Structure 1
């Protein structure tokens, strides 16, 4: 109560600004408090409604998040953060078509908004429209050429298109721009496997998950591609390295054998 009383002395704009700062840090409780006080001051505040929506989105409460974003859009139908939030909620609920509708409105309001461009590209990827996503990722890179995430996203798009050599080059560029995260290393490793360069993949996976798990990851990727012999070889290598602990490789190997049996019975 004392905190709310102290916050009541702040203006709406400052409350929203502080709420967004707490949201960025992952402190959802304080973010909610600041947005709620802002709404008490101005029930028609699109930024405050959007802030509440972002908190709910972070909690995985997608339907409630959409309700909050919708309230923000009632007060400002072109408020870009609310349109973006609504699109993200729809995509996370498995409705990318509805997400695109809101993203088109958001892009009309801000053609070079990097967050909107990225979310639109991710949504097109989810729809299986990788060729529509590619130029959006490319535009993000043009706007922020020194940001690794743009190259990482484009590299993943190349993976979806089956352009593995280009994916390798693009992931490598991302890793040259900042200290590589585990996700970056794993993305590049997956591209190497898909491009038939298992040894390069092994070195990368090994740095993040250890050698036994590295072989298991390689085997799993081969299995998803129908490369049964290569998958079997990798799973067996994982088990030889760690037969007692590494049960996951055995599970994958058993699954591989079941796949083969089902395919033969269907011939």
Structure 2
């Protein structure tokens, strides 16, 4: 876990929906020709004896209007580590089947995996303009991509569009909540995470994010984090957020608590090293009396409901998965 305890992620599902319209294809230019040429040669050498590749090529030749073997071949190349070659197959499929939502979503995801997020955004924007969808996956992924580019306002619009299409979908509320959290709109983010948990009470992602949204309330955030991890991780999360806020003394108190539960907790130790570099104090672990499990539990409850004997300030934080 990093000090920022951010884990972007996606829960958007794959859409198989298609709108059958005859319009010009959406062309996506290739920007990695040398890498592609190398991977083509490597694929030839590695795939000469690959019966699966041979079978898929034969199916493509026999059924040129069937998209399935093309997608299977691209996926197979991905599995072999030939990402640029797989990407080129998805591009060709997108040109041949301009109305296929499945093809364009796979192409957008592959562009994201290869670091070409801006191109993936342009691809999905153009596709949705020509072929409006009735399922939320496209708008959801467009929101995720915009979030990852730091375009939070546009990302919010995309997440809200996705929710209009499927308002009772937990991961869509979580994704919008994450976007709002990154914009600093904590009450709105909290409401979205609560909505996600009403729909999917077992969601650890939404529960973890809710803890970040209510971090200014201190103890409530600890309870949410602890419910999906352990006490040491929960206090380390709080410390990470405090470090981001520049509240180093408070962060050290949380790390003291975390390491009191587990002196070898990796994230807490990394956060201790981080805060040491920021406040100039040693990254030392205080020697404390050994407490029984019951004593530690009573002390934790007291901190949550009564407060730290030293001033404890409120804060907020974030993590997310998509």
TM-score normalised according to structure 1 size? 0.76
How far residue 58 of structure 1 moved from its aligned partner, in angstroms, is 7.7
How far residue 59 of structure 1 moved from its aligned partner, in angstroms, is 8.1
Q: Using a 3 Å threshold, how does the CA distance of structure 1 residues 235 and 90 change in structure 2: closer, same or farther? A: same
| Aligned 1:117-196 pairs, distance under 5 A | 117-193=139-215, 196=216
1:87 is aligned to 2:108: yes
How far residue 52 of structure 1 moved from its aligned partner, in angstroms, is 3.9
Q: Using a 3 Å threshold, how does the CA distance of structure 1 residues 126 and 58 change in structure 2: closer, same or farther? A: farther
Aligned to 1:115: 137
Unmatched 5+ stretches in structure 2: 1-15, 17-51, 282-322
- Given the alignment, which residue of 241, 257, 261 partners 1:237? 257
Bigger relative contact order, structure 1 or 2 (CA pairs below 8 A, ≥6 apart):
2
Q: Using a 3 Å threshold, how does the CA distance of structure 1 residues 148 and 56 change in structure 2: closer, same or farther? A: farther
How far residue 44 of structure 1 moved from its aligned partner, in angstroms, is 4.8
1:53 is aligned to 2:113: no
How far, CA to CA, are the matches of 1:92 and 1:105 in structure 2? 20
SS at match of 2:214: helix
After TM superposition, the runs of 4+ consecutive aligned structure 1 residues lying more than 4 A away are: 54-61
Normalized per residue, the structure richer in helix is: 1
Q: Which has the larger radius of gyration?
A: 2
SS at match of 1:159: helix
- Given the alignment, which residue of 68, 84, 102 partners 2:123? 102
Size of the aligned set, in residue pairs, is 228
How far residue 87 of structure 1 moved from its aligned partner, in angstroms, is 1.6
How far residue 115 of structure 1 moved from its aligned partner, in angstroms, is 1.4
Unmatched 5+ stretches in structure 1: 1-16, 18-31, 263-267
